[in-house]
Amino acid sequence: MNILFLGTGTSTGVPVIGCNCEVCRSKDPRNRRLRSSILVRTAKTTLLVDSGPDLRAQALRHQLTAIDAVIYTHEHLDHTTGFDEMRAFCWNREGKLPLYAGEACLNRLKAMFAWAFSPENTHKGYVRPEPHQHGGQPFTVGDIEVTPVLVEHATVVTYGYVFRAEGSTFGYVPDIKKLPAESAPLLRNLDALAMDGLCFPQHRTHLTIDENIALMRTLAPRRGYVTHSGHRVEYGQLADYLPDFMEPAYDGLLVEL
Ligand SMILES: [Zn+2]
Ligand SMILES: [Zn+2]
Ligand SMILES: [Zn+2]
């Protein structure tokens, strides 16, 4: 199983429009962050997690032309508004595109993109989703087992996911403020775990870098990655700051498990 980070930025992306700070002006490509999304791949299966507003650029950058399913963490716009770009993944497929989400997120997607979910949508040029409401229960796509992990983030129901395939485990939690005690065991002792680290100062709806590190230590993955970062986080400084078992994720990072 391998993980490709398509985007590792917070909702604004980095650089931020109109900002002239050091990170936004940085020439280091690892300081340029598209909105957060990953691909989880095995030899047989390709899963897209979230369809943010940068999906078109991400697909072009990585020559991504087909996926087996899309999985949503939550309904925030930085994770959903690239929905229509998935047309390109529907043009060449016979059946519909499997789409997995929790109940609240699925209802929101149906409201936002009603035409796609309409029974009258049979046009091959459109996104033709096959909705699956996972209800927080594990499911399988191809040879990848997916376990939803309920977390606390802002006011919307939000999931992280654990992916299990080919003897490896990977956890992905891009948006989180607090991990409920019932969810913690699902994220313990994974081969790798990527988690929200928005900024250094306290934040209302996201983990800070220090909160991320503290939580990582209790969950003890073999490798820990920080993602969903904003423009106050400089790649090199963060890399130096993190403990040995952790590193910042960056756009284009490929993790082979
Ligand atoms: Zn987000
Ligand atoms: Zn900036
Ligand atoms: Zn969010």
Question: Percent of the chain having pLDDT more than 70?
Answer: 100
Separation of 156 CA from ligand 3 center, angstroms? 8
- The Å distance, Cα 183 to ligand 3 centre, comes to 18
Distance from Cα 60 to the centre of ligand 2, integer Å? 25
Protein residues with C-beta less than 5 angstroms from the ion ligand 3: 76, 175
**What is the residue-wise DSSP string for 212-238?**
HHHHHHHH--SEEEEESB-TT--HHHH
Cα 77 to ligand 3 centre (Å): 8
- Give the mean pLDDT of the chain: 97
Ligand 2 centre to CA of 18 (Å) is 8
Q: Which two tokens stand for residue 170?
A: 């990977």
Q: What confidence tens digit (pLDDT) does each residue in 89-130 have?
A: 999 998 999 999 999 999 999 999 999 999 999 888 899 999
Q: Tell me, what's the pLDDT at 123?
A: 84
Instruction: Taking residues 28-52, report their average pLDDT.
Output: 98
Residues 6 or more apart whose CB falls under 8 angstroms from that of 14 comprise: 23, 24, 31, 32, 33, 229, 230, 231
Average pLDDT over residues 163-180: 98
Q: How confident is the model at residue 247 (pLDDT cuts 50, 70, 90)?
A: very high
Give the Å distance between the CA of 83 and the centre of ligand 2: 27
Query: Given pLDDT bands bounded at 50, 70 and 90, which one contains residue 9?
Result: very high
Residues surrounding ion ligand 2 at CB below 5 Å: 16, 19, 21, 24, 231
The Å distance, Cα 124 to ligand 1 centre, comes to 30
CA of 249 from ligand 3 middle (Å) equals 18
Task: Transcribe 57-102 into DSSP letters.
Answer: HHHHHTT----SEEE-S---HHHHTTGGGGGGGTTT-SS-EEEEE-
Ligand 2 geometric centre to CA of 252 (Å): 21
Using CA atoms in the order 48, 49, 55, 60, what is the torsion angle rounded to 10 degrees? -40
pLDDT at 124: 84
> Within 10 A of 39 (CB to CB), how many other CB atoms are there?
19
Among the CATH numbers 3.40.50.300, 3.60.15.10, 3.20.20.20, 3.30.70.3420, which is that of 2-256? 3.60.15.10
**Average pLDDT for 141-163:** 98
Q: What is the pLDDT of residue 149?
A: 98
Q: What's the whole-number mean pLDDT along residues 193-201? A: 97
**Ligand closest to the CA atom of residue 232:** 2
What's the distance, Cα to Cα, between the start and end of the chain in Å? Answer: 6
Residue 30 has pLDDT above 90, yes or no: yes
Tell me, in angstroms, the distance from the centre of ligand 1 to residue 123's CA. Answer: 31
Q: Kindly state the average pLDDT of the residues 155-184.
A: 98
